[in-house]
Structure 1
């Protein structure tokens, strides 16, 4: 077949079109599109029936491009990424253990590193005046019963309206948007305690908007660690929604809105709220047995347990539990969580996930039920931006699956 031959040159073995497509994770016709755009150089050797490519040039393009569409022979959607790897019950960001990052850096430092590859010690994200004013006005106009997630959804739209450069998708502008959008979301939330200076780190500013309880250094460290551990988790539903929006060249505010939309479900971002309610019930009733029994009797999953990507305990939960041990006021909620785990283990082998650890933090800190989802949403915004940056470097509108029509066979009579 054409393009199946390979040839040699002075620099070593060259790749044929199929091999280049496999290295890039794209269809063969996409390889020729790269050639036509000047992103790859092809060469036809004497006696060869197809084009050949320099392996180093192909590898360089693969590194620049991040995720690629799967080969035509693939039977499932597979999107390549350089952001998160989940392997052997560990979670790695760009090859670095997420728990190690949480032990040594702040959320802003890790977010900046995830976007640029550089650690900037002491970096602080600050909100621009116009965007923050617009977001606060929009949030203030909501009904009094509105929760923090309602406020985040409105704040991101208001911030977008205040940014005339939002349609500029050049990398530097997107990065500047990311550095200002996250603090705008946090600072637009109404303070529940003494408001922290906008020059402070993000974790204490978020803490003051989720609870009136005083923040001790150990608790702030846990919140910061939670933000880092939740930055990304491969192609979760909200991240896939973000990549679809970015594939259509939506601006960063719109891709975050897409993420918020997918996050709004009991099986994703709101899962920590279910675990929060369960822990409150365990503490109120004084025993986990009856609470777990109620869930099992009703055929419901026990919140905060099990994760399809981990065979054992979620490593993010393990890290947060270790940190929570250092906070005395967290011990009752922590003990309740452990009782839930041991009680459920008598019936089925399920391990704690990050939602249960997040629920221990929110219950122990006097935060509302939606606090875990809010922490999740703020944290994941940095990961969504990282995925958008990867997707902006891809061919546009590639996230376009083909529908398989199964409706009435046409022509049908006019209704």
Structure 2
């Protein structure tokens, strides 16, 4: 979506005359800016236009509008966390790819959580000790299962989290993040999170900074399945731990973060056949799905556009994927899921680390959404449009 519309574009989008558009501006409903020094023509804020178009659609056809809104459609709640714009996105007004180019993950955390610095968020040492006790003699257990056990324990032990106070939620957020880092690396982080993982995983130093970039890029993406799940749980009065536990199950579904496993299968198939391009071509010919390509919100996923050029391509996955995207898929650019899986393979990271990195970064956004939902202090309770069998006329249905 562009930042501004011309008068003609705005009028057509709203289905109104120019005079009506100008009246909206004069009433403060739509912001406008001059297009140049002469100030003879104006451009109109695209977000304001889209909000008004959505309101009009809901008014004219509420059932259709609300149905569309649950499938990559119109916004259904307000948030000040992430803006998805024209082929890029922003955390609280900060361009995310720009942040990913030179800032540590902790800087993005501070912005998302609206704190002066990540280090100012405290962790209860007694709760951290409880996490360590729970992790003793648990080697070989799936990291996700371990983390869910930790969330259940913390949900029971940390009574301060039920205050729903901002500081308590931030403290719970840092403890959850660092507990998952402990699971992924075997030790608690003492430096930056990405730096800690790079050392633990023995990442080539010249590629270590890309872990920071990846975590920043996946930290949030507006109202996706996991963040909406977290917000629903938070709106019901669940603790941050319970809200994250609910979101975690949603995140690892195969249509969300769990899609990385399908992409890993695609690359394993390519390794067996010696060519990713040939594997994709065969799937296209058979009409089989090709995971990891095409995003409904972008022509080219900006997260993948950032990561892929910065990764080595020893296996040819990147070059062949880009060729296939151009020639076989429509074009349909690789997604961030694909980029994370390529990172796992090219940097020889631990098995399934692509999914776990994605989840670790997304934890930051989940905490931001939970905090914002607590502040709104109202339940999320959409209605359903009934399409089932209608009741008969008799006998009367009475209590």
Matches within 5 A, 1:14-413: 73=59, 75-76=65-66, 77=69, 78-116=76-114, 118=116, 120=117, 123=119, 128-139=124-135, 144=140, 146-189=141-184, 191=186, 195=187, 198-207=189-198, 211=201, 214-311=202-299, 313-324=300-311, 330-333=312-315, 335-347=316-328, 348-402=330-384, 404=386, 406=388, 409=391
1:278 partner SS: helix
C-alpha distance in 2 between matches for 1:391 and 1:128? 24
Moved more, 284-293 or 229-238: 284-293
Q: How many Å apart are 1:384 and its aligned residue?
A: 0.9
Describe the SS at the equivalent of 1:231. coil
Q: Distance in 2 between matches of 1:267 and 1:382?
A: 20
* 1:263 to partner: Cα distance: 0.7
**Residues in 1 aligned to 2:359 and 2:389: alpha-carbon distance in whole angstroms:** 37
In structure 2, do the counterparts of structure 1 residues 389 and 124 end up closer, same or farther at CA, with 3 Å as the change threshold? closer
Report the TM-score when normalising by structure 2.
Answer: 0.74
How far has the Cα of 1:349 moved from its partner?
1.4
Task: Kindly state the Cα deviation for residue 172 of structure 1 after the two structures are TM-superposed.
Answer: 1.6
CA contact (8 A) 1:148 1:370 kept: no
Per-residue CA deviation, residues 358-411 of structure 1 (Å, 9 max, x unaligned), is: 111111222344211111111111111111121112242133434626257477
1:126, 1:199 within 8 Å by CA — same for their partners in 2? Answer: no
Preserved CA contact (<8 Å) 1:276 1:369:
no
Q: For this pair of structures, how many residues does the alignment match?
A: 331
Aligned to 1:26: none
Is the CA contact 2:91–2:111 (under 8 Å) kept in the aligned structure 1? no
Look up the SS of the partner of 2:84 in the other structure: strand
CA distance in 2, matches of 1:190, 1:104: 24
Q: 1: distance between equivalents of 2:156 and 2:286?
A: 45
Q: Given that residues 283 and 290 in structure 2 are in contact (C-alpha distance below 8 angstroms), is that contact kept between their aligned partners in structure 1?
A: yes
Give, in whole Å, the separation in 2 of the partners of 1:351 and 1:114.
28
Higher helix share: 2
Distance 1:338 1:140 in 2: 43
Aligned partners of 2:219 and 2:365 also within 8 Å: yes
Normalization by structure 1: what TM-score? Answer: 0.71
Q: What 5-or-longer segments of structure 1 have no aligned partner?
A: 1-18, 24-68, 325-329
Conserved? CA contact 1:271–1:355, under 8 Å = yes
Shift, 1:208, TM fit: 5.8
- Contact preservation (8 Å) 1:242, 1:388: yes
Aligned-residue offset at 1:141: 6.5
Indicate the SS of the match to 2:386: coil
* Offset, 1:169: 0.4
CA RMSD of aligned residues (A): 3.0
1: CA distance, partners of 2:289 / 2:97: 27
The question of whether the paired residues in 2 share the 8 Å contact of 1:305 and 1:351 is answered with yes
SS in 2 for 1:153: helix
Rounded to whole Å, the distance in 2 between the matches of 1:201 and 1:228 is: 13
How far the C-alpha of 1:140 sits from its partner, in A, is 5.1
Report the equivalent of 2:33. Answer: none
Query: 1:253 & 1:407 partners in 2: Cα distance?
Result: 40
Residues 268-313 of structure 1 deviation map (CA, whole Å, 9 limit, x = unaligned): 10122222332233234321233113432453321221000002x2
